[in-house]
Amino acid sequence: MTKIINFQTDPSAYRHWKVEYEGAVANLYMDVDETAGLFEGYELKLNSYDLGVDIELADVVQRMRFEHPEVKVVVLQSAKDKVFCAGANIRMLGGAAHSHKVNFCKFTNETRNTYEAALADSGQNYICAVKGACAGGGYELALACNYIMLTDDSTSSVSLPEVPLLAVLPGTGGLTRVTDKRKVRRDRADVFCSIEEGVKGKRAKDWRLVDEVVANSKFDDAVVARAREMAARSDKADVSNGIKLTPISRYFAEDAITYSTVEVTLNRAEKRATIVIKGPEEGAPADMDAVTAEGAGAWVLRCARELDDAILHLRNNEKELGLIEFQTQGDPERVVAHEALLLANKDHWLANEILQYWKRVLKRIDMTSRSLVAIVEHGSCFAGPLAELLWSVDRSYMMLEEFEGNNRPLATVTLTAGNFGTYKMGNDLTRLETRFLGTPEDIGTLEGLKGQPLEADKADEAGLVTYVYDDIDWEDEVRLFMEERASFSPDAMTGMEANLRFAGPETMETRIFGRLTAWQNWIFQRPNAVGKDGALQRYGTGVRGDYNMERV
């Protein structure tokens, strides 16, 4: 029986991370339990990691935002002697299915991006304090921090040895961050990524691989001083108390997963899943004090958390369901009101964190390698953040005019101020800007429609949906689309969709994911890496991989 990967955890269940809070500074220690791998067959030696380690890290980063908003600086460091992190566990990679490696790399990227953006989004600055060997994915953990400090001793170094050792590439943005973020000179980067032993001391700083090198005897004190200095310089507002991220309520059945605001139906025979998002049952809270009092129970946060969990579950545990269908149910005016309270209080720490979380959840949907469709039925509530789903998906279908026997309110789409800058994609454009890349003048027209519930004919005229159909054609057209999508090769569909979704300018984020999709996934299927005589299989034996030397 296939193991179900659970993305929900909390500090009481951590096996791999420890956090100490000291006012404005948090010390985050990587202390991987080598016996607690997510699957059997490998040990997580030398602070190496698998998906389970990253699930805990993602939880730490999330709780840092919501439960500890007083934190201004996070110091990421190792709790083990003479090693920072050996990177992704080689035995895990060698034995994992290709699909697991892809989803592992994708989730790892998303986690790195989240704490990398924590300074800009939440005023939390990440420092990485490196003592000991910092190799491969370990250095990528460091690269996603905003400041890297390295001990100057005989055992401490940074390296990306995947090419010479494993015949693969750094899979969590390493090469891209070396060139795009740290702006390492190309020839030096070539040397750095071609050697197993890495780079130490002054050379690491001279080559821009780290920001500061400190003698071992002074290192601990220097890290404390640097963290306090950055915290003192921070312009993040002082917040005394956060909110508790209480456990998500969910129920698993054979063909469904039920949350409080999300219902997932699994149609394995037809290779698709349906996600129905339920709008708020009550009006918006009176003010942000009321939202804070509700905490994780507030609809607008609860819905984001549950949708996030549903997407991760489908990605990792239902790999053959190639089509995800999004529906909503509820009063769009209430959705607008709940979002409007946050937008009107963007300078309130919790309002900001909830909006930033919605941005991350929507990005996760953008990056999900399934066909995505939105079905806008009567009684739906595609408004504000939920309207963003219409432009995250590959196609959308909307009911036109009244349907016989259907007495629900007519289907509408409602644009809000949030759709014009709050939930930007990885390309640093809004989804509307990306959708109307060829006609940017349309954005001004759309801004004039904010707050208006647009029925199907108006939504179609504004270009907000793909197709609108009346009672006569609706059922057949939607059915034909579903059947067609299920008949195509999933490999071809993934390639097509990934190319079409990210129009517009390149950013470091789009390059990281684009290169992951195009190159890392391909290389991870090549015999030079994963064949029986490949580098991943022979790692640790003292025998190099047997390579096919043909260039393609």
In tens digits, the chain (552 residues) has pLDDT values of: 468 999 999 999 999 999 999 999 999 999 999 999 999 999 999 999 999 999 999 999 999 999 999 999 999 999 999 999 999 999 998 888 888 988 999 999 999 999 999 999 999 999 999 999 999 999 999 999 999 999 999 999 999 999 999 888 887 789 999 999 999 999 999 999 999 999 999 999 999 999 999 999 999 999 999 999 999 999 999 998 999 999 999 999 999 999 999 999 999 999 999 999 999 999 999 999 999 999 999 999 999 999 999 999 999 999 999 999 999 999 999 999 999 999 999 999 999 999 999 999 999 999 999 999 999 999 999 999 999 999 999 999 999 999 999 999 999 999 999 999 999 999 999 999 999 999 999 999 999 999 999 999 999 999 999 999 999 999 999 999 999 999 999 989 988 998 898 899 999 999 998 887 777 778 888 899 888 899 888 888 889 889 989 887
Q: Which residues contact 290 (CB under 8 A, 6 or more apart)?
A: none
In the chain, CATH 3.90.226.10 covers: 11-233, 251-499
Contact 434, 503 (CB under 8 A): yes
Q: Does domain 11-233 have CATH number 3.90.226.10?
A: yes
Domain spanning 251-499: CATH superfamily: 2-enoyl-CoA Hydratase; Chain A, domain 1 (3.90.226.10)
Amino acid at 5: I
Contact present, 8 and 248 (Cβ < 8 Å): yes
The reported pLDDT for the residue numbered 169 is 84
Measure the CA–CA gap between 187 and 427, rounded to whole angstroms. Answer: 28
What φ, ψ does residue 76 adopt, rounded to 5°?
-90, 125
> How far apart, in Å, are the Cα atoms of 379 and each of 48, 77, 136, 466?
49, 50, 50, 19
**Positive or negative, the Cα torsion across 71, 77, 79, 85?**
positive
Confidence (pTM): 0.96
